[in-house]
Amino acid sequence: MVVEVFKTNVNEIESSEILIRKVLDHFPDSQVNFDMEDCDKILRVEAKRVIPEKIIAILNANGYSCEVLT
């Protein structure tokens, strides 16, 4: 399994839940969660294969910033 970590600007729990469902639509066999307590509003995606550009595009399309955390 691969774990990819992203920095986002998602602030609301409701928004994070919607975004998790959207990510799971594209990566159904993955585990997706937000760490809303972290200052970077971390999004973690664990899957056999993660395409960071697709995750970023999903969040951007919904009005949020997202970048791979290095």
Is the whole model's pTM more than 0.85, yes or no? yes
Structural domains of the chain, with CATH: 2-68 (3.30.70.100)
Residue 26 confidence (pLDDT): 95
Name the residue among 34, 53, 50 with its Cα closest to residue 42. 34
Residue 57 confidence (pLDDT): 98
Distance CA 18, CA 2 (A): 23
Residue bearing tokens 């986002």: 8
The 10s digit of each residue's pLDDT in 18-66 is 999 999 999 999 999 999 999 999 999 999 999 999 999 999 999 999 9
